[in-house]
Structure formats: structure tokens, C-alpha cells
Chains A and B, each alone.
Chain A
Amino acid sequence: MRRYRVLAAASLLILPALLRGLWYFRGFYQPAEPIRLPSFTQIEPPQPPLTPAAGTTESAGQAEDLSGKVVVIDRAHSNQFQLPELDTLTQALLTRGATLQEVNAGDEFESTSFGSSDALFAFSSRSLQTRLKYASAYVVVAPQSTFSEAEIQHVARFVSRGGRLLVVLDPTRGGGGIDIFGFVLSGSAQDVSSVNLLLEPHDLSFSNDYLYNVLENEGNFRNVFLSPGEPADLTGDLSQVVFYAARSVATRQGSAVLVGDDSTFSSSTDRGGGLAAVAASPDGRVLAVGDLTFLTPPYDRVADNSQLIQNLAAFLLGGDREQDLTDLPYLFTRPVQVLTSTAFPVQSETLQALQSLQASLTSRGLPMSLTAEPSEGHDLLVTALYEPSDETDPYLASLGLTLPADQADGLLEVPGFGALDPQGIGLLAAVQDPERTTLVVLAEDEESLARLAENVGQGFLSDCVFQGLYGLCKLGEGAGFQSEESFDFNFDFGLEEPTIELPPTIPVPLTATPPPAPLP
């Protein structure tokens, strides 16, 4: 009995707690599975695939000596970079013997008294045009301001005559940006339409995007690995390149030089597959590169980036630039000797004109001297009147000209132009052969000859019409041309460069007697 009482008492003692427990608790919590955490201690920051042996020195040492070639770097379009950022590329160019020059927006403007913005623009354009006359390559990096129509035409013509064009954009060098952490940070809002106008004639265009890869990248999603495509001279010795935020480049007929894999996406579409960050024009003369950072230390030593830089240098100096009369006064590549006819005395105006030419040549490191007997290793400038001369006739004979003195009607006959009244007209003719470039400058009288020589020296050739070997320049009023509708002779002091008015210029062939070309 007592046992039952104890059991009852114990039950009564436990029951409230048991009931309360059952009221509140329906079981015991069991973690569903072992709680797994990231392996913090195992995760290490990714390290770049450095290639210390990839080499500027080795590659450059084997490079061809290309001294005399000029690479012009654009600084005239609010370019968003500092020259030291191109050091690895410029060193590769200098090692090969190239000369570097900048083209700035205000260079020539500052030396004149013109003050309007129109004048600035015109001079900027002329400055670029002037440099492209003797350049082998033109490098444009991260431009912000617009290329004018004239500039685009100058560059297109430069490329059509064998010049090389390298355009580098970088999405981190944009004009737009955001204010974050109290600082204005530049972003990828750069307008690519301006530079795309420059590239449009060459079947290339940048996209307003950046490439990214969240799965396989070089330390960050925007640092993308790229594989070589075509052509071989640009992709030689490359197996993998890393770009650090890159725009994609599109081309229809050109070559995709460096492409991302299927997981490399464009920020504008979030899709990928075969996106190119470097592409070449169909003729291989223009290269669009979507990143600038890979050129700068320490990124120039990652993967095969240094080899790519060497390939770019070789590309820039690899063109075979054709020269013609439109490149005056930079037609010459050797020291220049000036041969004048003794049929007339050298006047002060002629000396002044020659001084202009000398200044132009000196700026290119080419000395100029007067001579009575041309010697080897020199280019030659022959100045003469439309009259027979023992000194100059040998040079005129090879040009196929018929001087007024040899014609019954007193007209000047120029192959391709026909018979012309020489009054008020100057004649330029160039002959290029492997040993020498000869430029013949002819005019009706000493005054006209001096003016023409001065225009040649200053490169003011907007009143000239070029065709094949020959150029005809207006020097005064005359009846040489029957109608001014045939040519645009508006004298504009060089502020307005001719654009589409001129007939297409035929590069100077390496023969002394070209076939006559019909008038356009």
C-alpha cells in the first residue's frame, strides 16, 4: 500500500512538469546535417601567371633595325592616359630604331595668332595631317574628344597608303564616372562612337561594354584570359594573354586577334562566346585593342602580355608606307641636295623658300644643301623654269614633260594633264627609285618658282592637284585652266584642308616614266 502511495506521489510530483513539457515541447532539435563552413584557411588569393622570361630584351634584340620609321602618338583628343603608361610599348619601338612623336591639339595653334575655336580645330587637323605625311604608324589611345571628318579622312588615306593604325581603348578610361567613397571614379561610360567613326572605314568597331568572366579569370572577374586567333604575325608566340578590363571589338571581314572563351561575357549582353578584345582590319593595317592596362607594369609581365607588346611594336613598324607628292615636304628620307638652274640667278625670295624647306627637313633630322653636282646618298630637289637648262634637262627628260619652249603653241604638256598654258601654274614632279628620291619644281618665272618652293617647304599644297607623278599648283591668275569649275582653287591659307574635292591620288611608282593617266 505504501508502495502505491509512493508511486502516486512521485507521479503527482512529475506529472505537472511532464504535462508542461509535453505542452511546450514536441521533440528534440537535431541539426539537419553537419554544419559545414567555408574552408577559410584553405582559400588563398589567386596569383598571376607571371612570365619573367618573356622578354622585351630578347625579342627586341632579334628585331629588325627600323630606324627612320616614325610612330606618331595622338595627344590631340583629350586622350585619357599618361605617356609613361606606354613605356613598355615605346621602349619596344625605340629599341627597334623607331622615332616617336606626339601630336597635340594646340601645337601649331599656339604658334599662331589665330584665336577662334574653328582655327584651333583646323590647325589640330593640319597638325595631324602634317605628321601623317611622314609617319609609319599612328597610335590613338583612349581619346575623349571627337575626330573631325577631315581627320578621319587623313587617317583613312594614311592607312590606304600603307600606314599602320593602332587604336587602344580601355573601359576604365571613360569620361563618365560615379561618386563613391567621396571620390569621383572614372567608369566605362566613355562614348566609343567617336573612335568608331575613325575605325569604320576599316571594318572595326568597339562596343560600349567590358568583358568579364566570373568563372575563370586572373584575380578578378574583369581580368579575362584571351586566346590567340589570327593573323599569325600578331599572335606569334602567344598562348595566353590577360586583359584587365577590356572592351570587345567587332569586325565583319577582319580578324579576331585575341578572343575570350565561352564563359567570357560582354557586359552589354551578358552573353559570350568568341568575343574579341583585339581585332585587325581586313587588310591587316589597323588594329583595335580593347585594353590599355596590359601595357602597364606589372600587368605587362603576366602570361604572354610582354610578347603581345613586342608583336604590337612589330605591327606598328611593319608597314610599307607609300610616299607621294601629297606628303610634301616630307617626301625625302635622305639628306637633300638642291640643284638650281643657272639660267636665272637665285633671288632672295628663292632663298627664303628654301629656308622653309630646310626647316621642315631639319625637323626630321635631314640636312639640306645647295649643289651643282648631285652625289650619291642624297635625295635631290631640282628647281627650274619652264625653259631648257643644261643642269636640269636630264632630270626633266625622264619625266615625259614637253616644255613650252619645245612646243609651237607655247603650251606645257604634262602626261595625264594634257597641254596647259603655263601662266600661273607651277609643276611638281617626283621620281622615286631605290637610290634617290628626286623632286622637280618648275614654274614660269622666278617669283612663281620661289612661291611654289615656299609652299612646298611649308606643306601648303591645298591649291595643288596631284595625279600620279605630277602635281599642278595654282600660283597666280592665268589661263592655264579654262574653267575654275574643274578644280577648287579657294586660297585658304591652309586653314581648310581639302577633303573630297581632290581626285584620288595614285601612289608614286618606282619607275621614272609612268604611263599617262587620264584626267578625272
Chain B
Amino acid sequence: MQGQVQSGSGVKSVLLWVLLPLLAGLALATRVPRPVIGLIYLNDSIYAYTARDMISQLDYARQHPEVRGVVLVMDSPGGTVVDTEAVYLELARLRQSKPVVTMAQGMIASGAFYLSVGTDYVVAGPSAIIGNIGVISQLPPPPEVYEDLASTGPYKLFGSSRDAQLRSMEAIKQAFLQAVQLGRGDRLQIGPERLLTGEIWLGTEALRMGLVDEVGSVSQSVERAANLARVAHYRVVDLRQLAELPSAVTYFFFYETPEGVLTPYPRQPGLYLLYVPPWDGG
């Protein structure tokens, strides 16, 4: 009888001091999330809609601790100045707590390259198109006054003089150059006289010039992000899903001819960090 009592007491003791803490510990361990390397895809130009989506995903990554690092998988010719800068500044904010790696899958030109220099590490496909640093814009028309179109100032209709717009572009270009120089730092192997030509380079060339850090694949860029974040056994997740964003839609960013041919030119005049590839007119 006494043995039964002792045995019952032992079971209780095990339950109380071993099993219960272990179960509680296991339960507690589930609160330690499995790290996530989030992927943000950009397979479009950078304009209001794509920038909004990217910022939402960056914001999600910043606010969710399980996301330990982010990989921007880009294939983009760039886009508008304001949207590029908006994403760039959000990247800088995220990098204060989490590493961001760029994967140049097809093209990171102009504005997309601007974003890449705002990340910690850049991986590029061997033949990815890299560079095209600079600004493009259509200048406003020469000053004219119209009999039937009234305005309250000489630049009310078009915003600025041609000369002023050209100079604004130069200021934007200077910021772009600074972003490249600050972002790439000592890794940069070429000077501004080469950077500012607006050339594009292959991934392998860009590696020699210090514009990218490695020639590789998406998985390598994910591994790099994980290394920088110091995590293992992570999950790789498309942040669009986590952020519960709808599927990416393509807004009509590019100009379409009356015959329905999509051109590489923006639909609207403006200031762009955009690579416009040669086009034969369709």
C-alpha cells in the first residue's frame, strides 16, 4: 500500500516536474517562429502600383519578426523617379533590422539598379542586364501662349521650362550617383566617368566593375540572405502571399500604339529612371 502511494507520488512528481515543464517548453518553443526568407518579385517597371506592392511587402517584412531577410528578385527596366526613390527609402529602413539581397534575374536597369545599390548584396545572372544609370524625360514644349487655353503662369501648363527640367534631371542623376557610390562603397571598381555614361553591362562585366557581388542564382541569393541574417532551416516564402496582396496586375505603364503594339516607352511624359531598349517601331 505504501509502495503504491510512493509509486503514485513518483508519477505525480514526474508529471509535475518533468512532463509538464517539457510540454510547456514544447508549447513555448512553438512560439519561436521558423525563420522566413521573404521573396519580393518585381517583374515589371517601377510605377505607382508596383511600388505600392513592394512597399507593402517591405513593410510586412519589417513588422514581422519571423521574416529574417528579404530577397528582391528583379527583372525590371526601372520606372518613375518618385516611385523608385520611395521604394529605395523603404529598403533603407528595412535594412536597419534585416538584410536585403538583390537577385538580378533578367535585368536590373536604371531605377531597378538604383534599388539594388540600396541592398546589402547583389547577385546577378551571368547575362543579366545591369546598369543604365541616369534619368530620361521628355522636355516640355518651348514657351508659347495660347489664345484658347488660359493659365495663371508661364509654367502652369507644363510645370517648368525646358532648361529647368534638364537641370532637375541633373540633380536627380547626382542623387542616383551618390546612391551608387554610397551603396557599393569600396566594392565599386569604376569611376563616375564610366558610371554616368548610362551604359548597360552583362552580369559578369558588372561583377568585375563592382556593381554586383556575385554571379549566381535565386537560391544562392536566398542562401546569402540567410547567411547575412544568420539563420538556418528557414522557409522561403513569397512575401506577396504573406502580405495577402492580390496577384500582381499589370497597369498600362507602357505606351501602346493604336495598332495594339506595346512599346518600351512610358505612356505618360515625366521623369524616369528607365531603360528604353532599342525598338524598331513594332
A interface vs B, CB < 8 Å?
5-6, 8-17, 19-21, 23-29, 31-33, 35-40, 43-48, 179-183, 214-215, 219-221, 263, 270, 298
Contacts and interface: CB of A to CB of B under 8 A. Distances in A.
Contact of B92 (A11, A17, A35, A180): A35
Given A13-B21, A183-B138, A214 B197 contact: yes
Contacts of A35: 92, 95-96
A9 B18 contact: yes
Contacts of B138: 180-181, 183
A37 B89 contact: yes
A38 B35 contact: no
B252 interface: no
A8 B230 CA distance: 30
Contacts of B190: none
21 contacts: A5-B17, A6-B17, A8-B17, A10-B21, A12-B22, A24-B34, A24-B232, A25-B230, A25-B231, A26-B230, A35-B95, A35-B96, A37-B179, A37-B182, A43-B171, A179-B281, A181-B269, A182-B265, A214-B193, A220-B169, A298-B163
Interface in B1-29: 13, 16-18, 20-22, 24-26, 28-29
A57 B171 CA distance: 35
B189 interface: no
B145 to A, nearest CB: 16
Contacts of B68: 29
A11 B263 CA distance: 65
B174 interface: yes
Contacts of B89: 37
Given A31-B95, A214-B192, 17 more contacts: A5-B13, A8-B17, A8-B18, A9-B18, A13-B22, A13-B28, A16-B25, A17-B31, A17-B32, A21-B32, A35-B92, A37-B92, A38-B175, A38-B176, A44-B171, A181-B266, A214-B196
A220 B166 contact: yes
A39 B177 CA distance: 11
A9 B20 contact: yes
B233 interface: yes
A13 B19 CA distance: 9
A225 to B, nearest CB: 14
A46 B223 CA distance: 43
A220 B172 CA distance: 11
Contacts of A36: 182
Interface in B73-109: 89, 92, 95-99
Contacts of B120: 31-32
B197 A9 contact: no
A35 B229 CA distance: 16
A28 B167 CA distance: 44
B234 interface: yes
Contacts of B171: 43-46
Contacts of A38: 174-176, 178-179, 182
Nearest to B226: A26
A9 B17 contact: yes
Given A13-B28, A21-B32, A180-B276, A28 B175 contact: no
B265 A181 contact: yes
B163 A17 contact: no
A40 B174 CA distance: 9
Nearest to A29: B229
B248 interface: no
A35 to B, nearest CB: 5
B164 interface: yes
Contacts of A44: 171
A181 B230 contact: no
B35 A46 contact: no
Contact of A23 (B185, B228, B232): B232
Nearest to A179: B281
A24 B34 CA distance: 7
Nearest to B93: A35
Contacts of B232: 23-26
Given A47-B167, A214-B192, A17 B182 contact: no
4 tightest A-B CB contacts, nearest first: A16-B29, A45-B167, A38-B178, A27-B230
A29 B228 contact: yes
B224 to A, nearest CB: 13
Contacts of B281: 179
Contact of A17 (B18, B25, B178, B192): B25
Given A37-B92, A182-B255, A214-B192, A26 B231 contact: yes
A21 B166 CA distance: 55
Contact of A29 (B20, B98, B166): B98
A479 B220 CA distance: 100
A14 B96 contact: no
Nearest to A214: B196
A45 B168 contact: yes
Q: Which of B29, B176, B182 has the most CB of A within 10 A?
A: B29
B101 to A, nearest CB: 12
A27 to B, nearest CB: 4
Contacts of A26: 230-232
Contacts of B99: 29, 31
